[in-house]
Chains A and B, each alone.
Chain A
Amino acid sequence: TTRTPEFLGLGRSSDLFPTSNSMGEVIVGILDTGVWPELKSFDDSELGPIPAGWKGECQVGKNFNSSSCNRKLIGARFFSKGYEAAFGPIDETMESKSPRDDDGHGTHTATTAAGSVVPNAELLGYASGTARGMASHARVAVYKACWLGGCFGTDILAAMDAAVADGVDVLSMSIGGGMSEYYGDTVAIGAFTAAAHGIFVSCSAGNSGPMPSSLSNVAPWITTVGAGTLDRDFPASLTLGNGDKYSGVTLYNGKQLPDSLVPLVYGGSVSHSSSGSFCMAGSLIPEKISGKIVVCDRGGSARVQKGVVVKAGGGVGMILSNTDSYGEELVADAHLLPSAAVGQKAGGAIKKYISSNPNPTATIGPGTTKLGVQPSPVVAAFSSRGPNPVTPAILKPDIIAPGVNILAGWTGAVGPSGLDSDKRHVNFSIISGTSMSCPHVSGLAALLKAAHPEWSPAAIKSALMTTAYTTYKSGEKIKDVATGGPATPFDYGAGHADPVAALDPGLVYDANVDDYLGFLCALNYTPEQIKSTTHRDFTCHTSSKYTLGDFNYPSFAVPLETALGGEGGAGVSSTIKYTRTLTNVGDPATYKVYLHSQTQAVKISVEPATLSFSAQYEKKSYTVTFTATSKPSGTTSFARLEWSDGKHIVGSPIAFSWT
């Protein structure tokens, strides 16, 4: 967050930004591992009295008292009964039975969403600058439901129950669990009631990319956030004995290797174990790595843990090589020994050099901070991907935001690597994940809520989605680092968040509880399943026609059928109609539709092609007709539908899937 506000355009001056006073009326709830309240990120000196409607509390516990809260951190609670029921009493020598964060993750997400402005922030000399949450004047309420042993559904539900009762405006949840129908999904159930209370709920999409259909938290009343890079990197040079040079990334800042070359080995060749290439604990033979730089493959264990294994065996440095799952994605870590993470191509070249040379050597140079890296953003390899595994007719993820190498506040309980053996103390740390992108969007939602207090959670989500961008300034499509090629809506949803545009979206696709009930009817849910999901008695009307296609979502997923006989079905066409309703949240204007498609297999038409709005909050509907010819099962293609009045562009991605 010493870079992401600028990267997102928040550094620009705009009349659209809410005032500090209105921002101070918005409360961001963070459901996570707790908080380290002593950080400057929770300074309250620029904030006025706590909003009058706030009903939360500052729960006292080990290392946490009522003075831990202030006008910035206005609430802090912990929920451990489910955890303790499963694992036994909390070992208070290991973790605090209080809202205090012993992990770092919760402090990181909270400060990313709404941390106060902190000049001169940095981690070990890297990423220096002024750190700030996306909604730096919003209030923070922390709900600790995640512990060293994980987060349990009963505690999560209790935390969500409390957040609704307390009166948060935004709820940020960077967690994920099993995949199930909405009536069996604790987070989806809790989020429904939260949304019905006007709370914007954002969740991380998951880190199971680039595998397709790997998303979590896909309920349509949740904003599902994937991760992209920003234009910052931490390069370190690698020099091999043959003179070849490669660039890696590092956050190491301890004693550097000598300029002279050091023996170099591949973990897979200095091990008795099949897991040696991953430098798993106990897999490396100390006599074969002592005094050497070890190349380890990414995967199988925590990246920083591999460095510990190398160091414990007497290795003096580590090169962390991506495998094909991660492509060229470079994630920097605060290792405890000289290190550099390299992409798959460089890693392959280094391994080839080792295998073809009797005495391979290398050295790793010091790391630096580099800004202005292009192209950016690119979709992170780890970011979970669509199609939506629960309801393919709803396109997910919804949006991407910065989630790679993010600097934000950290706990004082563990060092920046998160390892027990790391005794360094830092106020900020740099970590990666959709956990980091989610609170960016939560903070942006808080910003929109402050600017437009009357907007529903669905309107805020629509504003963020329809103004998201999918191309670089050059016009080239946003890339996927996992493939090196262009990303698709299954990777980035509506695109990358652009909060300045979202403050003035022109039109929104609004939705309320009735729309969500209709959505569940379209899924053929029974009254019991609807009640389990929504907490409401509702029976779908037999006389009403409920279709997923007419659910007023800001994006389109169009499942298409393959004709029997697969490819032999060429020429067979099917027609699908989707209806949407737009609400004008700007000045009176006339919008025209524009369609961009990458496929000839689907003809798209929109009726009417022009929508005129004469008043604010006026609603107008339109129908999109998709006429598709048959394609082989598994074929996907994409298009984009835009409404524009010349000033605003209200964009929606369209994903076609033949099954």
Chain B
Amino acid sequence: EEKIQQTERTYIVHMDKSHMPESFTDHSLWYDSSLKSVSDSASMLYAYEYVIHGYSTRLTAEEAETLRKQPGILSVLPEVRYELH
């Protein structure tokens, strides 16, 4: 179980931009801050601007759970693999 907890997966982190603290002048800094609050090593794969506000990253299940509980986080979705039809 511990091993599973430490295995990293990719997540899409959906942020609620209306909850961005005024201390942040740029949403990308807010995204970065939220990510750094749960992981020192994780980096952003993408920052999304139009279809959602948020970013994608690699996290452990524990880190994802911690992130989910933070204010301003709408959802932390595990990445789904799609296939060609």
- Show the binding face of A for B, using Cβ within 8 Å: 32-33, 79, 81-82, 85-86, 103, 105, 146, 150-154, 156-158, 160-161, 164-165, 174-178, 180, 183-184, 186-187, 189-190, 192-194, 197, 204-207, 433-435, 438, 528, 531-532, 535, 537
What are 23 contact pairs spanning A and B, CB under 8 A?
A82-B56, A153-B10, A153-B12, A153-B81, A154-B79, A156-B82, A157-B48, A157-B52, A161-B46, A161-B50, A184-B75, A184-B77, A187-B82, A189-B51, A193-B50, A204-B85, A205-B85, A207-B85, A435-B85, A438-B85, A528-B75, A535-B51, A535-B53
Nearest Cβ distance between residue A59 and chain B, in whole angstroms?
15
Q: How far is the CA of A176 from the CA of B49 in the complex (A)?
A: 23
Q: How far is the CA of A187 from the CA of B51 in the complex (A)?
A: 10
Count of B interface residues, CB-CB < 8 Å: 25
Chain A residues lying within 8 Å of B79, measured Cβ to Cβ, are: 82, 86, 152-154
Please state if A86 and B16 are interface contacts (CB–CB under 8 Å): no
User: With the chains together, A434 CA to B83 CA distance in Å?
Assistant: 12
Q: Which residues of A contact B4 (CB under 8 A)?
A: none
User: Chain B interface secondary structure, helix, strand, loop or mixed?
Assistant: strand
- With A82-B10, A184-B75, A531-B74 already in contact, the answer to whether A157 and B84 are too (CB < 8 A) is no
A94 and B66 alpha carbons, distance in the complex (Å): 38
List chain A residues, Cβ under 8 A from B48.
157-158, 161
Complex Cα spacing A23 to B34, Å: 45
Near A by CB (< 8 A), chain B positions 16-33 give 16, 18
Q: Given A194-B51, A532-B75: A435 and B45 within 8 A (CB)?
A: no
CA distance A14 to B52 in the complex (A): 41
Contact A164 B85 (CB under 8 A): no
Contacts of A189 in B (CB 8 A): 51-52
Residues of chain B whose beta carbon lies under 8 Å from any beta carbon of chain A: 10, 12, 14, 16, 18, 45-46, 48-53, 56, 58, 74-75, 77, 79-85
Q: A residues within 8 A CB of B49?
A: 161, 165
Bound Cα distance A79, B12 (Å) = 15
- Given A183-B75, A531-B16, residue A164 in contact with residue B50 (CB < 8 A): yes
Q: Contact at B45–A174, with CB atoms within 8 Å?
A: no
A165:B75 contact, CB within 8 angstroms: no
Bound CA–CA A535/B53 (angstroms): 8
Given A175-B84, A535-B51, CB of A186 within 8 Å of CB of B12: yes
The list of the 9 closest CB pairs from A to B, nearest first, reads A177-B82, A154-B56, A204-B85, A435-B85, A151-B82, A81-B45, A190-B51, A164-B50, A193-B51
Measured between C-beta atoms, what is the minimum distance from A328 to chain B in Å? Answer: 22
Please determine whether A175 and B85 come into contact, CB atoms closer than 8 angstroms.
yes
A164-B51, A165-B50 known; 16 new pairs, CB 8 Å cut-off, are A81-B45, A85-B58, A103-B84, A150-B82, A152-B81, A153-B12, A157-B51, A161-B52, A175-B82, A176-B83, A184-B75, A189-B51, A189-B52, A190-B51, A438-B85, A528-B74
Taking a contact as CB atoms under 8 Å apart, the answer to whether A532 and B74 are in contact is yes
Question: Among B52, B75, B77, B83, which residue has its beta carbon within 8 angstroms of that of A150?
Answer: B83
Distance between Cα atoms of A154 and B50 in the complex (Å) = 14
| Complex Cα spacing A152 to B18, Å | 28
Query: Are A85 and B82 closer than 8 Å at their CB atoms?
Result: no
Please indicate the chain B residues that have their CB under 8 angstroms from the CB of A535 in the complex: 51-53
Contact residues in A for B80 (Cβ distance below 8 Å): 153, 177-178, 180, 186
Q: Are B51 and A146 in contact (CB under 8 A)?
A: no
Shortest A271–chain B CB gap in Å is 28
In the bound complex, what is the Cα–Cα distance between A400 and B72 (angstroms)?
41
Residues A157 and B46 in contact, CB atoms below 8 Å apart = yes
B31 shortest CB reach to chain A, Å: 14
Nearest CB in chain A to that of B8: its residue:
A85
Residue from the list B10, B16, B18, B85 in contact with A206, Cβ < 8 A:
B85
Chain B positions within 8 Å of A33 at CB level: 84
Residue in chain B with minimal CB distance to A194:
B51
